[in-house]
A and B are shown apart, each in its own frame.
Chain A
Amino acid sequence: GENVEQHPSTLSVQEGDSAVIKCTYSDSASNYFPWYKQELGKRPQLIIDIRSNVGEKKDQRIAVTLNKTAKHFSLHITETQPEDSAVYFCAASTGGFKTIFGAGTRLFVKA
């Protein structure tokens, strides 16, 4: 079936450094790619998303890139801060009701 692979599972960076999380999807019909952030004990929240007709999207310190040919998409966080520490989930959707999630990346930002 369809799946989304996410790497790395754990990422530790120094405050101020950049962090990159990578995902690969299998269903070539996927056209919507959201990223969710889940802080400890809290609900997952959408932080950025991208559609398949766009190659890159930025929102302040976060950006997402999409390579449709390779079926890869990535989350980039620049100038990381301790409050960026959380679990990040990538996901892929074909526009229907089923969103396929990656396994998650636990990001630690060390002060």
Chain B
Amino acid sequence: DVKVTQSSRYLVKRTGEKVFLECVQDMDHENMFWYRQDPGLGLRLIYFSYDVKMKEKGDIPEGYSVSREKKERFSLILESASTNQTSMYLCASSKGQRREKLFFGSGTQLSVL
């Protein structure tokens, strides 16, 4: 069974802080994704990566960056957190050519005060 683990379930940060959200998957998946989930808006893609050190912008990358130094780990970085980044953040992974079949983590609920 694929396991996608997000390091924090709940996180509270202050405006202007640098925030790191960590995600680790244990199934040797090539592709990893960061989504943001907001009520009434569904899931929106922030960034994705198809290989170590490779990253591509999704639909809402502004205010975020990512890092993928190892195949199993994908980090989302908020350089200077703002209140409009308060949201549920979901990490996902998928295997190679079956890139569209997503396995999600349990999410990190981030509150920026």
Contact = CB atoms under 8 A, between A and B. Distances in A.
A99 B90 CA distance: 14
Nearest to B92: A44
Nearest to B41: A103
B59 interface: yes
A44 B101 contact: no
Nearest to A90: B42
- Interface residue tally of chain A, by bracket? 20 to 34
Given A44-B43, A89-B43, A97 B104 contact: no
> Interface majority SS on B: helix, strand, loop or mixed?
strand
A98 B102 contact: no
Given A34-B100, A43-B104, A43-B106, A97 B56 contact: yes
Given A32-B100, A43-B90, A1 B59 contact: yes
Given A97-B48, A97-B99, A104-B40, 12 more contacts: A4-B42, A34-B101, A34-B102, A42-B106, A44-B43, A46-B102, A46-B103, A98-B45, A98-B48, A99-B100, A101-B43, A104-B42
- Interface residue tally of chain B, by bracket? 20 to 34
A45 B104 contact: yes
A103 B59 contact: no
A95 interface: yes
A43 B107 contact: yes
Interface of B: 4, 31, 33, 40-45, 48, 50, 56, 58-59, 90, 99-107
Interface of A: 1, 4, 6, 9, 32, 34, 36, 42-46, 49, 89, 91, 93, 95-99, 101-104
Nearest to A1: B59
A1 B59 CA distance: 10
B99 A96 contact: yes
A103 B26 CA distance: 29
A97 B50 contact: yes
Contacts of B90: 43-44
A4 B104 CA distance: 20
Contacts of B103: 46
